[in-house]
Structure 1
């Protein structure tokens, strides 16, 4: 069995001043919530991609993207073939007023945008990716960024 093609991606954990997390709703694969982000374009760095994706998906311009908190590797179907996606997770704290999905230039298949408290994330029966996101955020809020990015499962 051959190794799936590599697909690098950047994702941003968007927090507000009340430590709520902005999640995006997708309906494929049974429906799930995830943080904004997507694959790198040719010649793009992960931070460049993070900024571009925030503009494309949230209509946000010039958001300060902070440290890398984690990385996740997951094989999943993309365009009919399996890809090995390696995602780097960054964090950004924003004023919710700066998030304007109506200005999103490429909302992809996003069905909803919602701010979630950490408690709501831990109590919901809905699927949120990456798994363990609430724990990652709680650790970051208590201890700051890790010395090296954490490896996330699923």
Structure 2
């Protein structure tokens, strides 16, 4: 068995400990671990060349490490990337997560898009160097075994960008809660619930995608008296100039042309056919209502 070198001295979090499987394999992080795959279409993936004393030293992997007690993998991956690579606040936007689970231990890869370009900075002793590497060149590097195993799937999903397009009038009208007395207020309440959903993400199976959780873009198409509703964090509101159905079809076609994988939400049968005709996957309003809880 390959020996595991000790961690360097310094303050320790309760999560900084090895988990030992029944097979004798050891995994770093009492509460699991997480890493960040920051992807910049122009520069590639941010990788860390691991220092020799670390586990699998000399290999290339993602900035990451042990989760703190009570810390979620999304926050943990961002914190670790900031500690190890100086990733600035707000520089990346999560797109999806992938989990490697061995029962006694889980490693979560958070795949995120670079929203604000930045230069990484070596900010702890675990890195020999940090570099942006084009996806096509990553296989040429000596990779950490865990990252090497996950990389083919992760790479296959880098081109997948989901979007959820919502027929606001149809969703609001599907629940007899008095929406007809205040259509604009009902649209605002729906927008706010979707904004909350956008912050937590969707399970991969809800979007027919691989991985664990995805963070799609949400677009809410409003019409009539609800046209005054504005967007919110994670939710773009599109005000239809005329027919809401026509606006939905135009948005779906435009998103598809931009390379987005569109899931459209409506229970209108005629509209469903039109949306499918421009390449959208269409689900009924119950799909969204169940996710909203």
TM-score in terms of structure 1 length:
0.71
**Residue aligning to 1:34:** 61
Please show how residues 1-150 of structure 1 align to structure 2 within 5 Å.
Answer: 3=22, 6-18=30-42, 20-26=44-50, 27=52, 28=54, 29=56, 31-63=58-90, 64-73=92-101, 85-94=105-114, 97-101=117-121, 104=123, 107-122=124-139, 124=140, 126-128=142-144, 129-144=146-161, 146=204, 147-149=209-211
Contact in 2 for aligned 1:68/1:88 (Cα 8 Å): no
Q: State the Cα deviation string for residues 44-76 of structure 1 (Å, max 9, x = none).
A: 11112122112111212323441333112469x
Mean alpha-carbon deviation: is it higher for 126-135 or for 45-54? 126-135
> How far has the Cα of 1:33 moved from its partner?
0.6
Counting matched residue pairs gives 138
**Aligned-residue offset at 1:34:** 0.5
Q: Which has the higher contact order (CA 8 A, sep 6+)?
A: 1
Higher-Rg structure is 2
Inter-partner Cα distance in structure 2 for 1:16 and 1:25: 18
Structure 1: runs of 5 or more not aligned? 76-83
Tell me if structure 2 keeps the 8 A contact 1:10–1:37.
yes
CA displacement at 1:23 relative to structure 2 = 0.7
C-alpha root-mean-square deviation of aligned residues, in Å? 3.1
Tell me the distance in 1 between the aligned counterparts of 2:21 and 2:66: 22
Shift of the 10–53 alpha-carbon distance from structure 1 to 2, 3 Å rule, reads same
1:144 & 1:97 partners in 2: Cα distance? Answer: 19
In 1, are the aligned partners of 2:85 and 2:120 still within 8 Å (CA)? yes
Structure 2 unpaired stretches of 5+: 1-19, 163-203, 213-293
Where does residue 79 of structure 1 map in the other structure?
none
